[in-house]
Amino acid sequence: MKNVLITGITGFAGAHLANYLAEHDPEHQFRIWGLVRASNGRENDIRDVVTDKVYGRLNFVYGNLDDRESLVRVFRTREFHQVYHLAAQSHPPTSFEDPQGTFVTNAVGTVGLVELLMKYSPKCRMMNCSTSEVYGAVAEDEQPITEECPIAPVNPYGVSKAAADLYVGERARSKGLRAFNTRAFSHTGTRRGFTFSISGDAYQLMRIKKGLQEPVVKVGTLSSRRVVMDVRDCVRGYAMLMDKFTPGEAYNVGGDELYSMGELLDMMIEMTGLDVEKVVNQAFVRPIDIPLQIPDSTKCRTLTGWQPRIPIRQTLAGLLDYWDEKIKE
């Protein structure tokens, strides 16, 4: 039986990845482990999307990317065959408030994780979850964005992920690390935090529907345009790449349909039947906005056959249902 570790399993994408791996391993060839920062019951948070059957297959270990000794205890007693490294401080606005903490977690933490893998599980295959934010604000006439696009992040979060991305690539080329980077473009779905766009709009709409908020949706930059995919499509791409990747390579994972943030909000308003006002909250506006991101995922698709499957309206409906269930009147 092979050991598969998901760092950041209690985050947004981690729980969905656990679902996918378990559901596509009916013969239980893999033992699925999840790295959790503290043994305080946080691992139960994922039960809002993880079925009891899948949850029963998960094994939890406790460690923090900022605490090397806690990670040593995890890795020195187990050999891992695959690692999906999703753990991160992943909120760009927070990175402006705490750039040092963001860099320590995302960049220095990844360096430490890589070094422990090379020492204790040298044959392990690793996916490092990078981000499309490493490309920064690419000019419209230079899009769609391929993996050859220069790395030029415009926020501290993007800088921290770019450093980790570059380090993983360098270790693969110079030291034989069996690892690759995924650069996922915009994705959303159940478990996405309400501090993130789209999910935050859905959260507010459900609060308005329940009478917990005035019929005013506080928004950021509604003109920003993104190609948005469902998180379940995204993690499926991660898993398909794990079997096919070339060490040191980066792979864009992105959807097909381009929408403005305003268009996505309007879809959800239509679904709820609410009559609301939109008001810009400057706290939701990034100091440097990325007005447009269009991914070119040809490299990933050609290698694996991956394609996004879930329509955006289905994703948005599921997000609204999720917050409808989570928010108590």
Check residue 283 and give its pLDDT: 82
> Can you state the angle between helices 12-23 and 231-242, rounded to 10 degrees?
60
CATH of 199-225+258-293+315-326, one of 3.30.540.10, 3.90.25.10, 3.30.310.220, 3.40.50.1370: 3.90.25.10
Residues written for the chain: 329
What is Dmax (Cα atoms) for the chain? 58
**21 with 32: CB under 8 angstroms?**
yes
Burial class (CB in 10 A: 0-12, 13-18, 19+), 77: exposed
Express each pLDDT in 120-176 by its tens digit: 999 999 999 999 999 999 999 999 999 999 999 999 999 999 999 999 999 999 999
Fold match, 2-189+229-254+294-309 / 199-225+258-293+315-326: no
The helix (H) or strand (E) run that includes residue 36 is: strand 30-36
**103 with 156: CB under 8 angstroms?**
yes
Check residue 135 and give its pLDDT: 98
| 14 three-state secondary structure | helix
Which has the closest alpha carbon to 238: 151, 300, 285, 192? 300
pTM here is 0.96
Domain boundaries, the chain: 2-189+229-254+294-309, 199-225+258-293+315-326
Across 57-63, average pLDDT: 96
Considering the chain, what percentage of its residues have pLDDT values greater than 90?
A: 95
Express each pLDDT in 195-253 by its tens digit: 999 999 999 999 999 999 999 999 999 999 999 999 999 999 999 999 999 999 999 99
Query: What CATH class does 2-189+229-254+294-309 carry?
Result: alpha beta
The helix (H) or strand (E) run that includes residue 6 is: strand 2-7
